[in-house]
């Protein structure tokens, strides 16, 4: 059992505008521990921010392209909806420690307003299968047992055509999802690493066993699943560690419900290294040889990444050949080295992912993807 994140949350405040709200109603602590406020708290320090939870109204635009999208990479073209900010977990490699200007742990309480923004923004491309992740600035499910905006979000997203919501987590907190009318329009996904990495680098998160058990619960509740092997972390026994991890997962989880796998490795802005080392002196994540690429990110050297990705890819093909597999934040040549081929572009990759979903999950009643719509003029560019 993971150490529950709420054990470190010292105060909870709720925006006065949210006194009558489903998220506010879901808060699972005594009333006298709550405080209503007109002023959103602002905590500068990353770790102090994790101790204060604020339920906030929706401020500004929350729905946009994934910020990892980059012209040098072949990306998956996922969209993100920032329903949470900061995270109660403490992953040594988390980019948030060098990213957030306000580190207060925040959950957006106004689900209807978020759905309105999403509906408006996707209305110009009704043919596109939209994948929308809520994990950009925090774990999608880590706060489920304290304050949840997830269940209403899942139900309301299910009513939108051609949309898949992705809840990405390192937790095992799925109880609140099990009785929701999701209509399979929500993919619950896990970031997975061997237990040795979880113990060393992903403090406070659920164990591998707990994550797999939670995966099984949501699979039994009919949800679609995804697994992100990202970031893969090097450690001396990584090969055996990842082999055993996949054996553990696929002993329990049916590949038929898995939509996609992503593969990526540890990467960060150069200035993050010292922040990581200061915040988590016990971390060994940056031990391997790492270099700075001209996209401004430090990564494991290419030969090591290729070795790790190829190993994982072979295992995935063995255990689960059908789900779509993509690389995250890698250049075209890495795709060719790992998969033997590559999409022509990010738009093409988006099309291929949509096609895979359309073919494998006809019950979702998605619009048949047409490459010309995803990648206008692609034939002329060939």
Interacting residue ranges for other proteins, rule: CB under 8 A? 44, 273-274, 277-278, 284, 286-289, 291-294, 299, 301-304, 331, 333
As measured in angstroms, the least distance from the Cβ of 273 to other proteins is 8
Tell me whether residue 152 or residue 241 sits nearer to other proteins (CB atom). 241
Tell me whether residue 51 or residue 302 sits nearer to other proteins (CB atom). 302
Tell me whether residue 57 or residue 344 sits nearer to other proteins (CB atom). 344
Residue 131: C-alpha distances to residues 5, 316, 323 (Å): 28, 22, 15
As measured in angstroms, the least distance from the Cβ of 269 to other proteins is 15
The torsion of the CA quartet 46, 47, 49, 51, rounded to 10 degrees, works out to 170
Angle at 262 between CA 341 and CA 336, to 5 degrees: 15
Q: Is residue 118 within 8 Å of residue 153, measured between CB atoms? A: no
As measured in angstroms, the least distance from the Cβ of 144 to other proteins is 34
Alpha helices (runs of H) in the chain, residue ranges in sequence order? 22-25, 46-49, 111-122, 150-158, 195-201, 208-220, 238-250, 272-279, 302-319, 332-339, 346-360, 371-374
Tell me whether residue 66 or residue 334 sits nearer to other proteins (CB atom). 334
Q: Which helix (H) or strand (E) holds 165?
A: strand 163-169
Tell me whether residue 56 or residue 104 sits nearer to other proteins (CB atom). 104
Residue with token string 């797999």:
212
Q: Is residue 87 within 8 Å of residue 106, measured between CB atoms? A: no
Tell me whether residue 210 or residue 306 sits nearer to other proteins (CB atom). 306
As measured in angstroms, the least distance from the Cβ of 292 to other proteins is 7
As measured in angstroms, the least distance from the Cβ of 284 to other proteins is 7
Q: Compute the distance between CA of residue 258 and CA of residue 162 in angstroms, rounded to an integer.
A: 18
Burial 68-104 (b: 16+ CB within 10 A, else e): beeeebbbbbbbbbbbbbbbbbbbbbbbbbbebeebb
Tell me whether residue 101 or residue 381 sits nearer to other proteins (CB atom). 101
As measured in angstroms, the least distance from the Cβ of 370 to other proteins is 32
Which pair of structure tokens corresponds to residue 152?
Answer: 């209403």
As measured in angstroms, the least distance from the Cβ of 197 to other proteins is 16
């Amino acid at each position: 059992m993971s150490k529950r994140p709420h054990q470190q949350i010292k105060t909870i405040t709720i925006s006065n505008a949210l006194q009558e709200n489903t998220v506010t109603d879901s808060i699972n602590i005594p009333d006298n521990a709550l405080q209503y406020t007109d002023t959103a708290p602002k905590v500068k320090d990353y770790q102090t921010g994790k101790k204060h939870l604020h339920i906030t109204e929706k401020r500004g635009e929350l729905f946009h392209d994934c910020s990892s999208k980059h012209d040098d990479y072949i990306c998956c073209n996922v969209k993100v909806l920032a329903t949470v900010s900061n995270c109660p977990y403490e992953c040594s490699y988390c980019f948030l420690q060098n990213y957030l200007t306000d580190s207060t742990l925040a959950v957006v309480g106004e689900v209807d307003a978020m759905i309105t923004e999403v509906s408006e923004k996707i209305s110009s491309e009704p043919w596109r299968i939209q994948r929308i992740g809520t994990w950009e600035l925090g774990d999608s499910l880590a706060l489920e047992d304290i304050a949840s905006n997830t269940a209403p979000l899942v139900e309301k997203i299910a009513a939108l055509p051609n949309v898949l919501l992705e809840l990405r987590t390192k937790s095992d907190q799925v109880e609140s999802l099990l009785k929701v009318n999701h209509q399979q329009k929500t993919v619950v996904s896990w970031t997975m690493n061997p237990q040795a990495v979880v113990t060393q680098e992903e403090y406070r998160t659920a164990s591998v066993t707990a994550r797999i058990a939670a995966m099984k619960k949501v699979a039994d509740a009919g949800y679609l699943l995804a697994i992100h092997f990202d970031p893969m972390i090097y450690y001396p026994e990584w090969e055996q560690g990842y082999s055993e991890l996949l054996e553990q997962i696929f002993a329990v989880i049916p590949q038929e419900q898995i939509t996609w796998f992503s593969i990526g490795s540890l990467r960060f802005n150069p200035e993050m290294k010292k922040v990581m080392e200061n915040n988590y002196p016990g971390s060994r994540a940056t031990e391997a040889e790492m270099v700075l690429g001209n996209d401004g990110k430090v990564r494991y050297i290419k030969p090591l990444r290729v070795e790790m990705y190829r190993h994982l890819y072979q295992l995935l093909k063995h255990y689960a050949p059908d789900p779509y597999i993509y690389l995250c934040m890698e250049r075209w040549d890495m795709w060719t080295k790992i998969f033997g081929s590559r999409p022509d572009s990010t738009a093409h990759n988006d099309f291929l992912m949509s096609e895979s979903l359309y073919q494998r999950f006809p019950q979702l009643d998605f619009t048949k993807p047409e490459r010309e719509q995803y990648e206008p003029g692609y034939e002329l560019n060939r």
